[in-house]
Chain A
Amino acid sequence: MRLSAIFSLILVAATGFATFGVKYEVEGLLAHLARLESERAADQNQIAVLRAEWNYLNRPDTLAALNERYLSLVPVTAKQLDAQIADIPMRETAVPVAAAPPPAAPALADAGTAPEAGRPAKVKTIGELVASLTLAR
Chain B
Amino acid sequence: MVALSRFDDNPCHARHFKPPPCAPVIRGTAAEEALETGRTRVLVTAALFVLLFAVIAGRLFDVMILGGGIEAPRAGQRPIPLPSRAPIVDREGRLVATSLKGVALYADPREIRHPADVARELARALPGASPEHFAQELSQSGTFVWLKRFLSPREEARVNDLGVPGLDFLPAERRFYPYGPLLAHAVGYVNIDDKGLAGVEGGLNRDLLGRRQPLQLSIDVRLQYILHHELRRVAQEFTAKAAAGLIMNVNTGEILALVSLPDFDPNHLDAPDPDFPKATLKDRLFDRATLGSYEIGSIFKVFTMAMALDSGTVTMASRFDATNPIHIGGFTITDYHGKHRPLSVPEIFAYSSNIGAAKIALACGARLQQEYLRRFGLLTQPTLELPEVGSPHYPRDWRPINVMTIAFGNGISDTLLQLARAASALVNGGILRPATLLKVPPGYAPQGRRVISEETSLRIRKLLRLVVEYGTGQFAEAPGYVVGGKTGTAERVERGAYARHSLRSSFLGVFPMEDPQYLILTMFDQPHGNKKSHGFATAGWVAAPATRRIVERIAPLLGVAPVDEKSPAVAGALAIASLKGKGIAPY
Binding site for B on A (CB under 8 A): 19-20, 23, 27, 30-31, 33-34, 37, 40-41, 44-45, 48-49, 51-56, 58-61, 64, 75-79, 81-82, 84
Point out the residue from B65, B75, B100, B561 that lies within 8 Å of A23, measured CB to CB: B65
If the complex has contacts A45-B101, A48-B98, are A77 and B552 also in contact, measured as CB distance less than 8 A? yes
Point out the residue from A27, A30, A40, A59 that lies within 8 Å of B178, measured CB to CB: A59
A31-B73, A78-B480 known; 6 new pairs, CB 8 Å cut-off, are A30-B73, A30-B75, A37-B78, A59-B178, A59-B182, A75-B556
In the complex formed, the residue of A with least CB distance to B64 is A20
Q: What's the nearest-Cβ distance from chain A to residue B108, in Å?
A: 28
Tell me whether B276 is interfacial, beta carbon within 8 Å: no
Does B225 lie within 8 Å of A61, measured CB to CB? yes
Does B75 lie within 8 Å of A33, measured CB to CB? yes
Does A55 lie within 8 Å of B553, measured CB to CB? no
Q: What's the nearest-Cβ distance from chain A to residue B197, in Å?
A: 21
Q: What's the nearest-Cβ distance from chain A to residue B438, in Å?
A: 20
Q: What's the nearest-Cβ distance from chain B to residue A126, in Å?
A: 17
Point out the residue from B80, B98, B562 that lies within 8 Å of A78, measured CB to CB: B562
Point out the residue from B81, B178, B478 that lies within 8 Å of A52, measured CB to CB: B178
A44 to B100, CA, bound (A): 10
Contacts of B182 in A (CB 8 A): 59-61
Point out the residue from B64, B74, B178, B552 that lies within 8 Å of A55, measured CB to CB: B178
Q: What's the nearest-Cβ distance from chain A to residue B219, in Å?
A: 13
Point out the residue from A40, A56, A60, A82 that lies within 8 Å of B221, measured CB to CB: A60
Contacts of B81 in A (CB 8 A): 41
Tell me whether B176 is interfacial, beta carbon within 8 Å: yes
If the complex has contacts A30-B72, A52-B95, are A82 and B180 also in contact, measured as CB distance less than 8 A? no
Binding site for A on B (CB under 8 A): 64-65, 72-75, 78, 80-81, 83, 87, 94-96, 98-101, 176, 178-180, 182, 221-222, 225, 229, 478-481, 552-553, 555-556, 561-562
Contacts of A53 in B (CB 8 A): 178
Contacts of B478 in A (CB 8 A): 78
A-B contact pairs, 14 of them (CB 8 A): A30-B73, A51-B98, A54-B95, A55-B96, A56-B179, A58-B94, A59-B178, A59-B179, A59-B180, A60-B229, A61-B182, A75-B552, A81-B562, A82-B562
Contacts of A48 in B (CB 8 A): 83, 87, 98-101
Contacts of B101 in A (CB 8 A): 45, 48
Judged by DSSP, the binding face of A is helix
Q: What's the nearest-Cβ distance from chain A to residue B157, in Å?
A: 14
Q: What's the nearest-Cβ distance from chain A to residue B533, in Å?
A: 23
Contacts of B480 in A (CB 8 A): 78-79, 81-82
Does A84 lie within 8 Å of B73, measured CB to CB? no
Contacts of A30 in B (CB 8 A): 72-75
Contacts of A82 in B (CB 8 A): 480, 562
Q: What's the nearest-Cβ distance from chain B to residue A84, in Å?
A: 7
Does A75 lie within 8 Å of B100, measured CB to CB? no
Contacts of B229 in A (CB 8 A): 60-61, 64
Most A CB contacts (10 A, CB to CB) among B78, B101, B561 go to: B101
Does A75 lie within 8 Å of B94, measured CB to CB? no
Point out the residue from A23, A58, A81 that lies within 8 Å of B556, measured CB to CB: A81
Contacts of A58 in B (CB 8 A): 94
Contacts of A75 in B (CB 8 A): 552-553, 556
A84 to B100, CA, bound (A): 45
Most A CB contacts (10 A, CB to CB) among B72, B98, B99, B178 go to: B178
A33 to B222, CA, bound (A): 42
Most A CB contacts (10 A, CB to CB) among B73, B74, B229 go to: B73
Does A84 lie within 8 Å of B561, measured CB to CB? yes
A6 to B549, CA, bound (A): 96
A45 to B99, CA, bound (A): 9
Q: What's the nearest-Cβ distance from chain B to residue A103, in Å?
A: 33
A49 to B176, CA, bound (A): 10
In the complex formed, the residue of A with least CB distance to B478 is A78
In the complex formed, the residue of B with least CB distance to A34 is B73
Q: What's the nearest-Cβ distance from chain A to residue B316, in Å?
A: 30
A44 to B87, CA, bound (A): 13
Q: What's the nearest-Cβ distance from chain B to residue A25, in Å?
A: 13
Ordered nearest first, which 6 A-B pairs have the shortest CB separation? A78-B480, A60-B225, A55-B178, A78-B562, A34-B73, A56-B178
